[in-house]
Amino acid sequence: MNPETHLNSDPIFDENNRGFCAILNKKGTQSSFSLKIDDFSSKIDHASVAWIDYIIDDFENEASKSAAKIGFSEELVKRLLQDVRGNYEDIDTQLGLVLPVVHVEGFDINIEPLIILLRENLLVTFHTRSRSRFYLMRRYADKYLKKLPKSTKTVDLLTMLLVRIIDENNSWNFKQLQEMDERSDDLTMDLKNNNVVEPHVGDQVSEMKHALLKYLSALWGTGDILSSLRYGDADLISDTPLILDRIVQLQNEIHQQLGLAEHLSDALASNLESLKSIYNNQLQDRNNQLQDVNNTLQTRNNLLQEKNNQLQDLNNTLSEKNNRLTATNNRITLLGAFLAILGAGFVVPNTIATVFSQTNIFTFSPKDMPWYITLILTSTIVTLGLVYWWVRRIGLLPNISDEDK
């Protein structure tokens, strides 16, 4: 039966029915719902055994106050809540237990307390709004109580009811391990099917490993509580062997679940090792690929360097030839400049000689030769000097470097 299908019609899921009470008396059984826990006080006075299941939202503020309304010690509840993974307190007339309640959603695991209080003929359970945990217990509480022998001692009835409550809680917790086991199978398939493992798979395995450790801690807490109950030392716990054997059976079931959880833990550890090996192989392959790429780039770089050296040699050769051409050009330019200077320098004496060669105007005797030659030479030297000075001043002569020289 799926509880969710009765969410709208079943009184168990009514928000106003936070409390549930089932009693067994001489007339038979009776069950009822209520919003307030103290509404059940009058119904349990004449009962052989009674069970109150009450839902609370805040354990720190509501648990002790709610317990006090039906006659339990607030201090007892406060001491129980000091360790939500499992606690046991016996004050003779009252007995308190805290059992871990495991909720698994994906890779998140949440552990909440289940408080169980016993006194005289009353057993009370406090838990959060995860009502499906005790859905079947609430639904079949009347039938279960009817099956209890009315002539049985009250302490035996309380213990049998306590064993049933613990068994129901354990069954819920064991289902959570099944969900984690299914998630483990999914992760194993991811590791098996993918040639390249996604990075989130490692995170999921690590998260599940952490969740499994918390689950193991909860099981050990339950096992410790059962160890405290198995010998019936408390006044409110039966010492009947048949009933105590049922507690031993619950212990054995816990140990079996611990074995399964540890096996799952070993499997996850193996998956982590496999994942680590796969990651290492992938990293090695990528490192080899990068090394090949680096070698290829290095080879290309060497080729480019070689070509660059060849181009540099060619450039040096061209520069050398260019320097030679520049030097030759400078020499030719210098030669042309000197020839121009010489040509310009001889224009003046040539002109003078041409003028004085007119015999019909000038008549020379041998006595005139000295001053004539002196005039020609002087005019030549002065003209060359002036032309050279003028050409150099305006920068027509090229600069000759030491290499050109």
For residues 394 and 267, state if they share a domain.
Answer: no
Residue 312 lies in a domain: no
pLDDT for res 196: 46
Among the residue ranges 217-231, 256-270, 286-300, the one predicted with the least confidence is 256-270
The distance of Cα 326 from the centroid of its chain, to the nearest Å, equals 70
Which two tokens mark 370? 């000295």
For residues 351 and 277, state if they share a domain.
Answer: no
For residues 260 and 385, state if they share a domain.
Answer: no
- Pairwise CA distance, residues 24 & 116, whole Å: 19
Per-residue 3-state assignment (H helix, E strand, C coil) for the chain:
CCHHHHCCCCHHHCCCCCEEEEEEECCEEEEEEECCHHHHHHHCCCCCEEEEEEECCCHHHHHHHHHHHCCCCHHHHHHHCCCCCCEEEECCCEEEEEEEEEEEECCEEEEEEEEEEEECCEEEEEECCCHHHHHHHHHCHHHHHHHCCCCCCHHHHHHHHHHHHHHHHHHHHHHHHHHHHHHHHHHHHHHHHCCCCCHHHHHHHHHHHHHHHHHHHHHHHHHHHHHHHCCCCCCCCCCCHHHHHHHHHHHHHHHHHHHHHHHHHHHHHHHHHHHHHHHHHHHHHHHHHHHHHHHHHHHHHHHHHHHHHHHHHHHHHHHHHHHHHHHHHHHHHHHHHHHHHHHHHCHHHHHHHHHHCCCCCCCCCHHHHHHHHHHHHHHHHHHHHHHHHHHHHCCCCCCCCCCCC
The structure tokens 């698994």 sit at: 104
Domain harbouring 30, CATH code = 3.30.460.20
Residue 315 lies in a domain: no
- Pairwise CA distance, residues 2 & 228, whole Å: 35
| Backbone phi and psi for residue 159, each to the nearest 5 degrees, phi listed first | -65, -40
The HSE-up count of residue 31 (CA atoms within 13 Å, CB side) is: 19
Residue 337 lies in a domain: no
User: Residues 160-188: what's their mean pLDDT?
Assistant: 81
User: What are the pLDDT digits (tens) for 234-269?
Assistant: 999 999 999 999 999 999 999 998 888 787 777 666
- Pairwise CA distance, residues 200 & 209, whole Å: 14
pLDDT for 390 beyond 90: no
User: What are the pLDDT digits (tens) for 330-368?
Assistant: 888 777 777 777 777 777 777 777 777 766 666 667 777
For residue 16, the enclosing domain spans 3-285
Asked which of 236, 269, 285 is the last residue of a domain, the reply is 285
- pLDDT bin (cut points 50, 70, 90) of residue 162 is very high
- Percent of the chain's residues with pLDDT above 90: 37
Residue 182 lies in a domain: yes
pLDDT for res 99: 94
Give whole-number Cα distances, 27 to 23, 47, 124, 154, in Å. Answer: 10, 10, 22, 16
pLDDT for 301 beyond 60: yes
Domain tally for the chain? 2
For residues 243 and 358, state if they share a domain.
Answer: no
The residues facing 32 across adjacent strands are: 21
The HSE-up count of residue 53 (CA atoms within 13 Å, CB side) is: 25
User: Residues 38-48: what's their mean pLDDT?
Assistant: 89
Under 8 Å between Cβ of 275 and 205: yes
pLDDT for 156 beyond 90: yes
User: Residues 315-331: what's their mean pLDDT?
Assistant: 87
pLDDT for res 358: 66
Across the beta sheet with 94-105, what order do the strands follow?
Answer: 28-34, 19-25, 49-55, 122-127, 108-119, 94-105, 87-90
pLDDT for res 31: 92
For residues 124 and 207, state if they share a domain.
Answer: yes
Under 8 Å between Cβ of 55 and 128: yes
pLDDT for res 5: 47
pLDDT for res 177: 76
- Pairwise CA distance, residues 10 & 3, whole Å: 9
pTM for this entry: 0.65
For residues 215 and 127, state if they share a domain.
Answer: yes
For residues 56 and 148, state if they share a domain.
Answer: yes
Residue 178 lies in a domain: yes
Asked which of 285, 301, 336 is the last residue of a domain, the reply is 285
Residue 314 lies in a domain: no
- Pairwise CA distance, residues 135 & 4, whole Å: 10
Give the residue from 273, 257, 69, 55 showing the smallest Cα distance to 176.
257
User: Residues 380-396: what's their mean pLDDT?
Assistant: 79
pLDDT for 221 beyond 70: yes
Asked which of 252, 285, 318 is the last residue of a domain, the reply is 285
Give the residue from 174, 165, 177, 102 showing the smallest Cα distance to 136.
165
pLDDT for res 160: 94
For residues 205 and 352, state if they share a domain.
Answer: no
For residues 32 and 145, state if they share a domain.
Answer: yes
For residues 356 and 271, state if they share a domain.
Answer: no
41 vs 269, higher pLDDT: 41
The structure tokens 């000038």 sit at: 362
What average pLDDT does the chain have? Answer: 82
pLDDT for res 4: 46
Residue 39 lies in a domain: yes
Residue 246 lies in a domain: yes
For residues 239 and 371, state if they share a domain.
Answer: no
pLDDT for res 349: 77
Q: Side chain identity at 59, as an amino acid letter? A: F
